[in-house]
């Protein structure tokens, strides 16, 4: 049987450095989605203060239910179409939805096979292929570091607070892990089929076992955890993810774009949410962001809040090119510094433009200026 999928790579801007951005494998992938993700990536990467341009790639291939061999074959087909357009100083791929260490390993292996080189053309590699310690957890941890820095600035903390999270993939799992480290209580997660509310706090060992090892649906979570309830997607009230019905201090959308609309925002506001911080890329719709702004809810935009992932990807690139390795503690310390600097730089921009706590505008202005200045400096 021959199976055909469409794959893309959008190289959007390389004023600050080589194109850099993840690869997504999901049936919903279209060129339009990848274009907005690549556009966002330009400014996110600029906000990190590191020298990388912006790109995104992906395919409408659905990895669900496929064997390891089928996944490998698809990764090889994808790389054989793109290897000529990428390079360690040209365009460096990375992970995203449906692309984790397994897929990255196969993509890397095919590049090596085709070019006879061990160039670092992709990040989030398995450790055995030159991956960085702390990369898998970087996006989720970075999201929580950013949010904690933001809260400290207004004399608040996550400690002891109820938090809701959507998603149950790489970003969501590590956000939950870091919330526990800081003494917060994460009580929800979700996947494409439904949502879990566990008032005792999400059982992280069970979640990791289900999602990372068994690659199973969250419906099995309730069978092993009596304190939890499961709501199927078909039963979501008004089509809005059930996790946003749960009263919380902090909400972290960590699944996908446009997952938190106006209706969800109203529920969160009615339940007195204090802060919403985006782990996913553009999960909050424009109208929902407006509502949060109107009600003075603190809001951490994705291009700042989830930039820890791509930042540690750059640490992976630098370790590869120097043939040196950072310890997990070193990576974590650098990640904390990067997230704290991101917040400080955005806040400075907000002050400069009299934007108070409008971090959305602050982040956009900061990223835009860095890219524009680099473009102007290179001549037109």
Number of residues that make up the chain:
380
Report the partner that residue 20 touches, choosing among ligand 2IT, ligand NDP, none (CB closer than 5 to 8 A by kind). ligand 2IT
Residue nearer to ligand NDP on the CB measure, 18 or 167: 167
SS3 1: coil
Separation between Cα atoms, residue 307 and residue 298, nearest integer Å = 18
Site string for ligand NDP, 69-88 (x = CB under 6 A): --------------------
Interface with ligand NDP (CB under 6 A), residue from 121, 280, 289, 346: 280
Residues 55-84 that bind ligand 2IT (CB under 6 A): none
Q: State residue 81 phi and psi, 5-degree precision.
A: -85, -20
Residue nearer to ligand NDP on the CB measure, 339 or 373: 339
Interaction between residue 130 and ligand 2IT (CB under 6 A): no
Sign of CA dihedral 187, 190, 196, 197: positive
56 belongs to the catalytic site: yes
Interaction between residue 7 and ligand NDP (CB under 6 A): no
Spatial CA neighbour of 160 closest among 130, 180, 190: 180
Interaction between residue 21 and ligand 2IT (CB under 6 A): yes
Spatial CA neighbour of 53 closest among 45, 61, 63, 62: 45
Residue nearer to ligand 2IT on the CB measure, 124 or 164: 124
Spatial CA neighbour of 276 closest among 167, 136, 146: 146
* List 20, 44, 56, 125, catalytic entry: 56
Report the partner that residue 235 touches, choosing among ligand 2IT, ligand NDP, none (CB closer than 5 to 8 A by kind). none
Site string for ligand 2IT, 32-51 (x = CB under 6 A): ------------x-------
Alpha helices in 6-97 (DSSP H): 31-47, 68-82
SS3 318: helix
Sign of CA dihedral 260, 266, 270, 275: positive
Positions in the binding site for ligand 2IT (CB under 6 A): 20-22, 44, 94-96, 123-124, 281, 309-310, 313
Residues annotated as catalytic are 56
């Amino acid at each position: 049987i021959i199976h055909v999928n469409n794959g893309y790579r959008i190289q959007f801007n390389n004023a600050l450095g080589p194109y850099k951005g993840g690869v997504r494998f999901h049936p919903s992938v279209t060129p339009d989605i990848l274009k907005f993700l690549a556009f966002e990536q330009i400014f996110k990467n600029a906000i990190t203060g590191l020298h990388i341009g912006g790109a995104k790639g992906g395919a409408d291939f659905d990895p669900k239910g496929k064997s390891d061999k089928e996944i490998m074959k698809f990764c090889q087909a994808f790389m054989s179409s793109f290897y000529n357009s990428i390079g360690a100083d040209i365009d460096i791929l990375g992970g995203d939805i449906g692309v984790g260490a397994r897929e990255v390993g196969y993509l890397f292996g095919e590049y090596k096979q085709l070019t006879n080189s061990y160039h670092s053309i992709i990040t989030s590699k398995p450790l055995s292929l030159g991956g960085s310690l702390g990369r898998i957890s970087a996006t989720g941890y970075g999201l929580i570091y950013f949010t904690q820095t933001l809260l400290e600035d207004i004399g608040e903390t996550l400690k002891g607070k109820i938090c809701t999270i959507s998603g149950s993939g790489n970003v969501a799992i590590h956000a939950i892990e870091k919330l526990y480290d800081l003494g917060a209580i994460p009580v929800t997660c979700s996947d494409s089929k439904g949502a879990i509310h566990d008032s005792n706090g999400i059982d992280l060992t069970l979640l990791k076992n289900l999602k990372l090892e068994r690659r199973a649906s969250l419906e099995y979570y309730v069978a092993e955890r009596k304190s939890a309830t499961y709501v199927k997607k078909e039963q979501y009230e008004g089509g809005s993810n059930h996790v946003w019905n749960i009263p919380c201090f902090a909400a972290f959308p960590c699944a996908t774009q446009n997952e938190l609309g106006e209706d969800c925002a109203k529920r969160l506001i009615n339940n007195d949410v204090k802060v919403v911080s985006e782990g996913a890329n553009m999960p909050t719709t424009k109208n929902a962001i407006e509502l949060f702004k109107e009600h003075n809810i603190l809001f951490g935009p994705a291009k700042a809040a989830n930039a820890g992932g791509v930042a540690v990807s750059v640490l992976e690139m630098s370790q590869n090119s120097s043939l040196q390795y950072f310890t997990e503690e070193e990576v974590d310390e650098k990640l904390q510094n990067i997230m704290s600097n991101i917040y400080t730089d955005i806040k400075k921009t907000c002050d400069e433009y009299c934007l108070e706590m409008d971090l959305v505008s602050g982040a956009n202005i900061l990223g835009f200026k860095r890219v524009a200045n680099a473009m102007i400096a290179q001549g037109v």
